[in-house]
Amino acid sequence: MNKKDLFDQIVKKKSYLCVGLDTDIKKIPSSLQKEKDPLFEFNKRIIDATEKYCVAYKPNIAFYEALGAKGWESLQKTLEYIPSHIFTIADAKRGDIGNTSTLYARAFFETMNFDSVTVAPYMGEDSVKPFLEFKNKWVILLALTSNTGSKDFQNLKIDGEDLFMKVIKTSKQWGNASQLMYVVGATQASMLGRIRKEVPEHFFLVPGVGAQGGDLEAVSKEGMNKECGLLVNASRSIIYASSENDFADKAAAEAKNIQKEMETYLNKYMK
C-alpha cells in the first residue's frame, strides 16, 4: 500500500487507529478453544467487529511464533482475512546482516503479504536497506519505544543528543517518507513534538496508548502533520475488552470509542 492510499483511508474512516492482534491462546474465550484454529477464529471475529473503525492491523509475531508452525498458519490465515484496503503491520522487530535481512523481508513481504514490518536499528544501514527494496512496502524502524527499558540505551547522549534522535537523523537518509515510518512510544509524548520537527513527513507508529497508559490527545497534538502522520496502536484494551463470549462486541465498542476521539483530534490538530 502506498502513502496516498493510507491517507485516503484515514480521511474516509476518520480514524488512525491500528488494532494490535497480540492474540494470546491463553486469553481466548473457552468457547473458541474447541475450534480447529482458535487464534484465527478469534482474530476473524475481532476483524469483523473492528474493521470499520481502524485503518491498520498489527499482528504481534511473537504470539504466533510461540505456537511454532501451527502459529504461522494462523498468522497467514489472519493476514489473508484482513480486507485489502487496510494497512498491515508485521510487528516482528527483525534486523540482521544484509543477506539475512533480505530473507526476513521475503518472509513478510512475499511468503506473506504484509504491507510493512517493524525493524530494529542496532545493526545499522545494511540491516535495514534490504527491507526498503520492496515496492510499496514499508519499514517501521524502532526509534523510541514505550517500555521502561527504552531508557537504557535509547536515551544515551551522543554529542548532547539522544541515541534515538541519532537513529532518526541517520536512517532518514536510507529511505523516504513513502517507505519508512518510525515507532515512537506514546508514553513519551513530550518527545513526539521534537521528533516531528526532525521528520515532518514520516508516519509514526505509536504504541502504548491504552494498557500502557499513553495519552491519545497529547500524542495527536504533538505528533500529527498535514497527512495525519500517525498510526496509533491499541492491542489489549480492544481485543481483551471482555474475556467472555461478547468479546467481539466489546472490542467493537472500544474501537468505536477510540475512533470517535480520533475524529475530534483529526479536526483539531491535522495541519
Provide the annotated active-site residues.
93
In terms of CB distance, is 111 or 245 closer to a copy of itself?
111
Does the footprint of a copy of itself cover residue 70 (CB under 8 A)?
yes
Does the footprint of a copy of itself cover residue 32 (CB under 8 A)?
no
Residues 2, 37, 44, 124: which binds a copy of itself (CB under 8 A)? 124
Write each residue from 227 to 256 as x if it is in contact with a copy of itself (CB under 8 A), else as -, in one continuous string.
Answer: ------------------------------
Residues 126, 133, 198, 217: which binds a copy of itself (CB under 8 A)? 126
Contact between 128 and 119 under an 8 Å Cβ cutoff? The reply is yes
Size of the site for a copy of itself (CB under 8 A): 57
The answer to whether the Cα torsion of 262, 263, 268, 270 is positive or negative is positive
Does the footprint of a copy of itself cover residue 104 (CB under 8 A)?
yes
Q: Strand 87-94 relative to strand 116-119: parallel, antiparallel, unpaired?
A: parallel
- The stretch among 9-17, 125-133, 188-196, 240-248 that binds a copy of itself (CB under 8 A) is 125-133
Residues 83, 135, 152, 190: which binds a copy of itself (CB under 8 A)? 152
68/80 Cα distance (integer angstroms): 19
Residues 68, 83, 160, 190: which binds a copy of itself (CB under 8 A)? 68
Does the footprint of a copy of itself cover residue 69 (CB under 8 A)?
yes
Distances (CA, A) of 135 to 81, 114, 139, 179: 22, 12, 11, 8
- Write out 102-146 in H/E/C secondary structure: HHHHHHHHHHCCCCEEEECCCCCHHHHHHHHCCCCCEEEEEEECC
| Short-list 192, 128, 187, 201, CA closest to 164 | 192
Contact between 17 and 54 under an 8 Å Cβ cutoff? The reply is yes
Contact between 34 and 235 under an 8 Å Cβ cutoff? The reply is no
Does the footprint of a copy of itself cover residue 7 (CB under 8 A)?
no
Question: How far, rounded to the nearest angstrom, does the alpha carbon of residue 76 sit from its chain's CA centroid?
Answer: 17
Residues 111, 176, 243, 264: which binds a copy of itself (CB under 8 A)? 111
Does the footprint of a copy of itself cover residue 153 (CB under 8 A)?
yes
What are 104's three cell numbers? 526476513
Does the footprint of a copy of itself cover residue 11 (CB under 8 A)?
no
Does the footprint of a copy of itself cover residue 113 (CB under 8 A)?
no
215/16 Cα distance (integer angstroms): 15
Q: By the criterion CB under 8 A, which residues form the site for a copy of itself?
A: 22, 24, 60, 62-63, 65-70, 72-73, 76, 91, 93-98, 100-101, 103-104, 106-107, 111-112, 120-128, 142, 145-154, 156-159, 163, 166-167, 170
